[in-house]
Amino acid sequence: MKKILNKKQKIGKIPDKISHILMAIAACLILVAIIAEWDTSFFKTEFHEGDIVLRAIYAPFDFKIKGGIDYKATETVKKEAVSLAPPVYSIDISVKEVILNKVNSFFSAVESLKNDTNAEGDRDSKIKAAGESYNIPFPIIKGILELKDPQGFSAEIVKIIEDITDTGLIPASELSRLNKDLIKTVALIDKSKNTEEVKSADRFWTFSDIRKKADSLSSSLKERKEKFLLVDFISAVLTPNVIYQDEETDSRKQALAAKVKPVYSMVDVKKTELILNKGERILKDHMAKLEAIEQQGPRSIKMAAFFGIALLVILFILLLVIYIEFYEPDLIVGNKELILFASICILMTLAGKLIVISPWPSNMIPVSAASMLIALLINDRLAIVATCFLSIIIGMISGGRLDMAGVSIVGGMIGIFAVRNVRRRSQLISAGLAVGFANMTYFIGTGLINSLDFNIYMTEAFIGLANGVLSAIIVTGVLPIFETASKIITDISLLEIADLNHPVLKEMVIKAPGTYHHSLVVGNLAEAACEAIGANALLARVSAYFHDIGKIEKAEYFSENQTGGSMHDKLSPTMSSLIITSHVKNGVELAQKYGLNKRIVDIIRQHHGTGLVFYFFKRALEKTEDEEVFEEGFRYPGPKPQTKEAACVLLADSVEAASRTLDDPTPSSIQGLVKKVINNKFIDAQLDECELTLKGLEKIAEVFTHILTGIYHSRVEYPEDTRRRLKP
pLDDT (tens digit, 9 = 90+) per residue, 503-513? Answer: 999 999 999 99
| Residues 691 and 577 reside in one and the same domain | yes
Q: On the CB side of 31, how many CA atoms lie within 13 Å of its CA?
A: 30
- Range scoring the smallest mean pLDDT among 123-127, 171-175, 267-271, 311-315: 123-127
CB 689 within 8 A of CB 641: yes
**pLDDT score, position 703:** 94
CA pair distance 456, 439, nearest whole angstrom = 15
Query: Could you write out the DSSP letters of every residue in 189-226?
Result: EETTTTEEEEEEGGGSB-HHHHHHTHHHH-SS--SHHH
Residue 444 located in a structural domain? yes
42 pLDDT band, cuts 50/70/90, is: very low
Q: How far is CA 223 from CA 140, 144, 228, 300, in A?
A: 16, 13, 9, 84
Residue pair 89/312 in contact (Cβ under 8 Å)? The answer is no
**Per-residue confidence (pLDDT) for residue 233, from 0 to 100:** 81
Most confident of 171-175, 218-222, 380-384: 380-384
The pLDDT of residue 676 is 92
Q: How confident is the model over 179-188, as pLDDT tens digits?
A: 888 888 888 8
Mean pLDDT of the chain: 82
Residues contacting 487, CB < 8 A, separation 6+ = 336, 597, 598
Please identify, among 488, 518, 546, the residue that sits at the C-terminal boundary of a domain. Answer: 488
In the listed set 433, 453, 488, which residue is the last one of a domain according to the structure? Answer: 488
* CB within 8 Å of 611: residues ≥ 6 apart: 635, 636, 650, 654, 681, 684, 686
Could you tell me the pLDDT band of residue 402, with boundaries at 50, 70 and 90?
confident
pLDDT value for 108: 79
Instruction: Dump strand ranges (E) for 140-277.
Output: 185-190, 195-200, 242-244, 264-269, 274-276
Report the chain's terminal Cα–Cα distance, integer Å: 91
pLDDT over 50 (residue 4): no
535 and 397 housed in the same domain: no
Residue 702: what pLDDT? Answer: 94
Q: How confident is the model at residue 643 (pLDDT cuts 50, 70, 90)?
A: very high
Would 620 be classed as within a structural domain? Answer: yes
Mean of the pLDDT values across residues 661-674?
Answer: 86
Whether the per-residue pLDDT at 491 is higher than 60: the answer is yes
Higher pLDDT, 291 or 689: 689
Residues 483 and 510 in one domain: no
Residues 522 and 409 in one domain: no
CATH code of residue 607: 1.10.3210
Cross-strand bridge partners of residue 69: 264
The answer to whether 613 and 559 are in contact (CB under 8 A) is: no
Does residue 324 sit in helix, strand or coil?
helix
- What's the average model confidence in pLDDT over 217-246? 78
| 3-state secondary structure at position 636 | coil
SS3 category, 268: strand
Lowest mean pLDDT among 77-91, 190-204, 414-428, 559-573: 559-573
Question: Within this chain, do residues 621 and 484 fall inside the same structural domain, yes or no?
Answer: no
47-51, 356-360, 509-513, 685-689: which has the minimum mean pLDDT? 47-51
Same domain, 539 and 460: no
Range of the domain at 703: 494-711
Same domain, 535 and 413: no
Q: Does the pLDDT at position 319 exceed 70?
A: yes
Q: Are residues 541 and 652 in the same domain?
A: yes
Q: What percent of the chain has pLDDT over 90?
A: 23
User: With b meaning 16 or more CB within 10 Å and e meaning fewer, what string describes 370-387?
Assistant: bbbbbbbbbeeebbbbbb
β-pairing, 88-91 vs 185-190, is parallel
Angle, helix 120-134 to helix 138-145, in steps of 10 degrees: 120
Kind of pairing, strands 195-200 and 63-69?
A: unpaired
**Hey, CA dihedral for 566, 569, 575, 576, is it positive or negative?**
positive
Measured distance CA(523)–CA(537) in Å, rounded: 9
pLDDT reading at 16 higher than 80? no
pLDDT-derived band at 3, boundaries 50, 70, 90? very low
pLDDT band (50, 70, 90) for residue 92: confident
Judge if 498 and 552 occupy the same domain: yes
Q: How many CA atoms lie within 13 A of 305 on its CB side?
A: 22
Q: How many domains does the chain have?
A: 2
- Any domain includes 61: no
Residue 370 counted as domain residue: yes
CATH assignment of the domain containing 396? 1.10.1760.20
- Report the alpha-carbon angle 106-109-114, nearest 5: 125
Average pLDDT over residues 587-602: 91
What separation in angstroms does the CA of 88 have from each of 172, 242, 298? 16, 10, 49
Q: What is the pLDDT of residue 182?
A: 82
> What's the rounded Cα separation, in Å, for the pair 366 and 517?
45
pLDDT of residue 48: 67
Q: What's the whole-number mean pLDDT along residues 372-390?
A: 91
Peptide linkage before 60 cis (omega within 30 of 0) = no
Q: Which amino acid is at 306?
A: F
- pLDDT score of 12: 43
Is the backbone of residue 194 left (phi > 0), alpha (psi -120 to 50) or beta?
Answer: left
Nearest to 549, CA basis, from 613, 594, 610, 489:
594
**Residue 238's pLDDT band (cuts 50, 70, 90):** confident
**What span, in angstroms and rounded, lies between the C-alpha atoms of 369 and 373?**
6
**pLDDT(368) > 90:** yes
Instruction: With cut-offs at 50, 70 and 90, classify the pLDDT of residue 488.
Output: confident
Do 393 and 478 lie in one domain? The reply is yes
Asked if 260 contacts 58 with a C-beta cutoff of 8 angstroms, the reply is: no
Of 268, 274, 389, 309, the C-alpha closest to 42 is 309
The pLDDT, as a whole number, for residue 10 is 41
CA 548 – CA 612 distance, rounded (Å):
17
Task: Give the closest residue to 85 by CA, choosing from 220, 191, 198, 219.
Answer: 198
Single out the residue of 229, 185, 239, 177 nearest to residue 207, CA to CA: 239
Confirm if 541 and 523 have CB atoms less than 8 A apart.
yes
Residue 644 pLDDT exceeds 90: yes
Q: Are 369 and 377 in contact (CB under 8 A)?
A: no
Q: Which of 97-106, 338-347, 608-617 has the highest mean pLDDT?
A: 338-347
**488, 506, 536 - which closes a domain:** 488
Q: What are phi and psi of 197, to 5 degrees?
A: -140, 155
Q: What is the pLDDT of residue 722?
A: 58
Task: Write out 112-134 in H/E/C secondary structure.
Answer: HHHHCCCCHHHHHHHHHHHHHHH
When pLDDT is cut at 50, 70 and 90, the band that residue 297 belongs to is low
Residues 378 and 459 in one domain: yes
Question: Is residue 241 in a domain?
Answer: no
Answer yes or no: is 609 within a domain: yes
Judging by DSSP bridges, how do beta strands 63-69 and 185-190 pair with one another?
unpaired
Mean pLDDT for the stretch of residues 218-224: 67
Please say whether the beta carbons of 122 and 109 come within 8 A: no
Which one-letter DSSP state was computed for residue 47? -
Whether the per-residue pLDDT at 530 is higher than 90: the answer is yes
684 is a domain residue: yes
Provide the pLDDT confidence category of residue 9 given band limits of 50, 70 and 90.
Answer: very low
**Distance between CA atoms of 27 and 652, rounded to whole angstroms?**
43
User: Is 411 in the same domain as 551?
Assistant: no
Confirm whether 266 is domain-assigned. Answer: no
- pLDDT higher than 70, residue 653: yes
Tell me the backbone φ, ψ of residue 266, rounded to 5 degrees: -105, 135
